[in-house]
Amino acid sequence: MKKQTIIKIGLAFLSLLSVMLSWRDLSAASPWPADANGQLISIGAGYEPSGIIWHSRLNKFFVVSDNGTIISMDADGNNKTFWNVGGDLEAVTIVDPNSNYIYVGIEHPDSIKEVDITTGKFTGKVWDLTQWLTGPDNSGLEALTFVPNGRHSHEASPSGGLFYAGLQADGKIYLFDIDLAHSGIVTFEDDVITPVSGRADISDMFYSNKTDTLYAIFDGANSLVEMAHDGAVLGDYALPLPNREQEGVVVVSPSPTLPAQI
């Protein structure tokens, strides 16, 4: 999704992702979201952030940008590394933090690519989703997260779980079983989640293993929807800083009973 003002969107993106560092107990029943006080991290001019994930082993954020850049940084925004891999990067997720790979969502053509974080380059593995999920050039795949086996309602995947991909054009979430050992082998689970009927413009997702909760941002509605992994809505909340085109969410929590960093 293209934005009108790079600086403004960068700050808005971080206002949800890493500015909202309020500490509170996080569970499905907790009030959401917390207040918007916290630390502001600026990536810098020339970047259009569009997705974020926290790497628990490396203790780093990985941020993807519309202009084909992946950025890694510490929790406070220091020690930034920029990798220009190319493409319209709109989302990022992690399957196994013990591996050296992250997975990025491409908006056009709608697909998932594997990135080696030791080299900062694509590995060559790509999974095309356009047979099932496709949208206009600027309204395609916009959100991506990974739900491990045992947490979704489908058969266990040899790759350890399922990818949930959000399509901006219709606001729906499509479930895929991707063979991570082989490029191009992907199975659509014939399962589409509609978080809120008639609401499009989904802009990011995050699944929390700690709370078994799926979070989805809807940019146009300025809302965050909290769901069970099957799409059952647990809450629908207005985001702080309206009209700021917030496009990413991640929850960093050591356990379901300890405070979370949002």
pLDDT score, position 40: 73
Mean pLDDT by 10 residues, the chain (262 residues): 31 32 34 56 82 94 94 93 95 97 95 98 98 90 96 94 97 98 97 94 92 90 89 86 69 54 46
DSSP, residue by residue, 74-123 = -TTS-S-EEEE--S-EEEEE-S-TTSSEEEEEETTTTEEEEEETTTTEEE
Half-sphere exposure of 77 (CA within 13 A, CB side): 13
pLDDT score, position 244: 59
pLDDT score, position 27: 40
pLDDT score, position 72: 96
Could you tell me the domains of the chain? 6-260 (2.120.10.30)
Specify the pTM: 0.85
Q: Where are the beta strands (DSSP E) in 1-96?
A: 24-25, 49-55, 60-65, 69-73, 81-84, 89-93
pLDDT score, position 21: 29
pLDDT score, position 90: 95
pLDDT score, position 253: 63
